[in-house]
Structure 1
Amino acid sequence: MDSTILLLLVQDGVVNGAIYALIALSLVLVFTVTRVILIPQGEFVAYGALTLAAFEAGHRPGTVGLLLALGAAAFVADLAAGRHTLDARSLGAIALRDLVLPAAIAGATLVVPEKPGLLVGILLTLAIVTPMGAYLHAVAYRPLEHASVLVLLVASVGCHLALTGLGLVFFGAEGSRTPPLSDAMIPAGPLVVSGQSLWMLALTAAIILGLWTFFGLTLIGKALMATAVNRLGARLMGIAPSMAGRLSFSVAAFIGALSGILVAPLTTIYYDTGFLIGLKGFVAAIIGGLASYPGAALAAVLVGIIEAFSSFHASAFKEVIVFMAIIPVLLWRSLRSHPVEDDE
């Protein structure tokens, strides 16, 4: 292996690691706030990529119907959850969030041209997929918010299987790609850096900076951090766990959809591709401790580099090598930790 190949592999690993970093950050956010290991995060990635591909092909994506159905189901779940305290104002707010918003987004997809263009398609894709996170939380997870982590994990597996099956129904078994955000090719010594790669790195850095600003400088962000640090204490201070969960799931869905939009020009995305991408993000989150945002981001870059070198030296076993990287980390953590009981 010469220096040029080494630099190419590192470049490829860092670019892939940027996507895994976004997934890992969203998994850490959801887990620290709600104790949910969000296995369906990969489906948000696939839905984002394939929804944009449908717009580019001139089709109305099936995720629009799913958004309407999830909104209606969330409306019923919200009514059931707040049946003892409902008044006209809260009923109107619930209807606006769960019924009017999805209907407005669906109406926007009918108003725009069949091929709305890349920028409009991206905005519509983010608008369609992002609310799904909040609705999924209301329907599948909020009724189980006092359950054990194991029960929440089983619920996540069920949501993953359901969303994967729906993805097959909406998009079919054939894969899709989308146009790159930039066709530029920039020479950098022995390397050639694509504009798409720079977009991926820039948007990843922007998301990380945005999350740091959100958690450090905004009241809602501090409420989420308080919920992550001490759920009972946050509840006593008037921070509703349902609000925190809904917001964290919305952020995770937005990040997942954006990740799908960024990765779709580089590889063909199928209805079930998101699971593998999400699993690599989960490996990074575990290596980072499932509690540290900087640790998860750095671990994601490490996972990307391991994958790149594995593809060069043993392409048939690259997935095995990536997932085996988690084993020594788990062994090391198990030796350093003491058994504790789940007190929630």
Structure 2
Amino acid sequence: MDAQIALLLAQDGLVNGAVYGLMALALVLVFSVTRVIFIPQGEFVAFGALSMAMLHAGRTPTTLWLLLALAGMVLVVEVWRWKRGAAVDWTSALVWCVALPAVAAALVLGLKPESLAAQAVTTIVLITPLGPLLYRLAFRPLANATVLMLLIVSVALHGVLVGLGLLFFGAEGSRTPAFSEARFDIGGLQITGQSIVVVGVTLSLVVLLFLFFGRSMIGKALRATAMNRVGARLMGIPTELSGDVSFALAALIGAVSGLLIAPLTTVYYDTGFLIGLKGFVAAIVGGLASYPLALAGALLVGQLESFSSFWASAFKEVLVFTLIIPVLWWRSMFSRHVEDEE
């Protein structure tokens, strides 16, 4: 290996690590607020990329019908809870179940966007409400369950979404045009505009999330819920709404990640699973609690995958997932085990 090849591999590792970093941030966010290890995070990536491809091909994304069906089901559940005497926040319910699905339907069926930017915005509007709708349907009724029970539900939901992905998009893969066709030659190293877009958007999202959690009232409420759910509830923070917001942010991050990788590789209905797992490895490096460590773990995973593809391409996935073993061993040596409360 010479310096030129090493630089190319490092560039690929940086781009891949940026996407894995977004996955890791979403997983840490959802787990810290709701205690859900959200296995289907990668499905948001695949659904976003394939919905964008369908829009670019002039077809109606089938995720629109999934969104409308989920919105109808959640609305029925909310009405049922209200009739049984449960307190229902109708403002948030109408936002997730009526307003955003209506906006998505208007964009897809009415506006029919033609430019890449408009199609990207439409895709984000399509995918983002799926997060809180899935939370309300699958996880909110089990908010007080054990982490293991929530994990089992998460795995089951992953299986359902992968099956729906095959039904909606078929077994064929799709790609979308790059957001930038520019190419730069720096010291003999070819850098594509799309790579710069991926890294730039990732950095922008990281900064925006930092400002969101540090400066906004909603972000501070999410941090309080993550630190102490019961204490946050006693202070008047609606923890159920915190779950909605965390899943909406996870879906938004997944949709953006799908838009970023669709021009770089062919995306299939099940592509998101491996991407989500690599993001999970990065999140484990951060202990499912630290955002900076999760980002550092994502860069490590990206570089390990890139250089493994050169030295031992047949075992690159094995090497990446093996990284989780020493991390878990190290953390088990210095962490105190706490039994779940009954």
User: If the length of structure 1 is used for normalisation, what is the TM-score?
Assistant: 0.96
Q: Distance in 2 between matches of 1:2 and 1:93?
A: 56
- 2:40 corresponds in structure 1 to 40
Counterpart of 1:207 in structure 2: which amino acid? L
Q: Distance in 2 between matches of 1:82 and 1:282?
A: 37
Counterpart of 2:93 in structure 1: which amino acid? I
Q: Cα distance, 1:339 vs. partner? A: 2.6
- 1:6 corresponds in structure 2 to 6
- 1:226 corresponds in structure 2 to 224
- 1:151 corresponds in structure 2 to 149
1:223–1:81: structure 2 CA closer, same or farther, 3 Å change rule? farther
* Aligned Cα root-mean-square deviation (Å): 1.4
Identity across the alignment (%): 55
Q: Cα distance, 1:120 vs. partner? A: 1.0
- 2:249 corresponds in structure 1 to 251
Counterpart of 1:333 in structure 2: which amino acid? R
- 1:130 corresponds in structure 2 to 128
Unaligned stretches of 5+ in structure 2?
A: none
Alignment of 1:38-187 (within 5 A): 38-83=38-83, 84=85, 90-91=89-90, 94-113=93-112, 116-187=114-185
1:229–1:340: structure 2 CA closer, same or farther, 3 Å change rule? same
- Cα deviation 1:51-95 (Å, max 9, x = unaligned): 0000111110100000001111111233344442558xx546633
Counterpart of 2:100 in structure 1: which amino acid? L
Aligned counterpart in structure 2 of residue 276 of structure 1, from 242, 251, 274: 274
- 2:305 corresponds in structure 1 to 307
Q: Distance in 2 between matches of 1:149 and 1:93?
A: 26
Aligned counterpart in structure 2 of residue 242 of structure 1, from 231, 240, 243: 240
1:235–1:178: structure 2 CA closer, same or farther, 3 Å change rule? same
C-alpha contact 2:96 2:129 (8 A) present in aligned 1? no
Q: Match of 1:74, SS?
A: helix
Q: Cα distance, 1:334 vs. partner? A: 1.3
Q: Cα distance, 1:112 vs. partner? A: 2.3
- Cα deviation 1:111-165 (Å, max 9, x = unaligned): 123x622111101100000000010000000000000000000010011011111
- Cα deviation 1:153-210 (Å, max 9, x = unaligned): 0010011011111011110000000000100001111211110010111100000000
Q: Cα distance, 1:96 vs. partner? A: 4.6
- 1:285 corresponds in structure 2 to 283
- 2:25 corresponds in structure 1 to 25
User: If the length of structure 2 is used for normalisation, what is the TM-score?
Assistant: 0.97
1:229–1:188: structure 2 CA closer, same or farther, 3 Å change rule? same
Q: Match of 1:192, SS?
A: strand
1:96–1:10: structure 2 CA closer, same or farther, 3 Å change rule? closer
Q: Distance in 2 between matches of 1:15 and 1:209?
A: 17
Q: Cα distance, 1:101 vs. partner? A: 2.8
Unaligned stretches of 5+ in structure 1?
A: none
Aligned counterpart in structure 1 of residue 213 of structure 2, from 215, 222, 231: 215
- 1:194 corresponds in structure 2 to 192
Q: Distance in 2 between matches of 1:334 and 1:96?
A: 43
Aligned counterpart in structure 2 of residue 328 of structure 1, from 326, 329, 339: 326
Counterpart of 1:57 in structure 2: which amino acid? A
C-alpha contact 1:78 1:138 (8 A) present in aligned 2? no
Counterpart of 1:97 in structure 2: which amino acid? W
Q: Distance in 1 between matches of 2:205 and 2:181?
A: 22
C-alpha contact 2:96 2:133 (8 A) present in aligned 1? no
